[in-house]
């Protein structure tokens, strides 16, 4: 069983832990703490790019990671606990009356005012309970060196992997946070290899009790591990 230092645990409420304290081998790319996301800036409450989860969630992720490590694979976290204020920040963004070209990369066919109605974004998210996650797989034997360049113009999230923004992960058929039918887990429009990667991720997560959201190949939750929604900000983890 993983040991969590008391100094770290005391800084987080409600049984939350820093995933890095449970398993530092799990790769983290917490996108809402950066400008590399559909809003184009860090979201409210993301004071650090750290994955924070309920302890049970973290222990189960560790078990998934141990299984994947034997296959030269790793989990990569895009989002974990999300402060409630960040979801409200998304609401304000959707209602600001304009869309930039960079924003359209994430929702090429759907106006952002429709994202909430269609269930792609929620004003009250299960992420705020610490029991929901956004993640992907990384092939540790592959070339993951390409980095996101904010000055570059990329194709939209449904384009071929070499044309869309790099994510340093396997090709799942779309980029992360792609609000398009192609991002649905069982989308028929992706190729055989992409479908195989999605199935591999879903199966590995399911073996530890995680359930995938059918409209987002990257989104998983652990039934029964949530509870109340929280709004504490994500702060830098103390060493």
pLDDT tens column, 24-41: 999 999 999 999 999 999
Among 56, 67, 99, 216, the active-site one is: 216
CA 135 to CA 160: how far, in whole Å? 20
Residue 102 in contact with residue 155, Cβ under 8 Å?
A: no
Any catalytic annotation for residue 216? yes
Residue-wise pLDDT tens digits, 134-164: 999 999 999 999 999 999 999 999 999 999 9
Angle at 116 between CA 115 and CA 122, to 5 degrees: 125
pLDDT digits over 194-217, tens only?
Answer: 999 999 999 999 999 999 999 999
Ramachandran category for residue 81: left, alpha or beta (phi over 0 → left; psi -120 to 50 → alpha): beta
Q: Which residues are annotated as a binding site for Zn(2+)?
A: 127, 134, 219
Domains of the chain (ranges; CATH) run: 6-221 (3.30.1380.10)
Name the strand (E) or helix (H) holding 183: none
Q: Which residues are annotated as a binding site?
A: 127, 134, 219
pLDDT at 119: 74
């Amino acid at each position: 069983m993983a040991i969590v230092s008391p100094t770290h645990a005391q800084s987080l409420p409600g049984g939350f832990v820093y995933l890095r304290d449970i398993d530092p081998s799990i790769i983290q790319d917490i996108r809402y703490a950066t400008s590399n996301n559909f809003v184009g800036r860090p979201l409210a409450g993301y004071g650090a790019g750290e994955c924070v989860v309920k302890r049970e969630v973290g222990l189960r992720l560790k078990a998934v990671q141990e299984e994947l490590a034997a296959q030269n694979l790793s989990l990569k976290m895009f989002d974990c606990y999300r402060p409630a204020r960040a979801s409200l920040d998304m609401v304000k963004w959707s209602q600001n009356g304009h869309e930039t070209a960079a924003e359209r990369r994430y929702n090429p066919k759907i106006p952002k005012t429709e994202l909430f109605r269609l269930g792609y974004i929620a004003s009250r998210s299960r992420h705020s309970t610490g029991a929901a996650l956004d993640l992907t797989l990384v092939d540790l034997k592959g070339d993951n060196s390409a980095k996101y360049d904010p000055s570059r113009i990329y194709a939209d999230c449904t384009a071929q992997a070499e044309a869309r923004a790099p994510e340093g992960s396997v090709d799942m058929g779309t980029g992360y946070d792609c609000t398009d039918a192609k991002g649905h887990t069982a989308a028929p429009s992706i190729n055989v290899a992409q479908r195989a990667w999605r199935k591999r991720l879903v199966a590995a997560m399911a073996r530890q009790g995680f359930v995938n959201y059918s409209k987002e190949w990257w989104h998983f939750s652990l039934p029964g591990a949530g509870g109340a929604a929280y709004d504490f900000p994500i702060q830098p983890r103390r060493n």
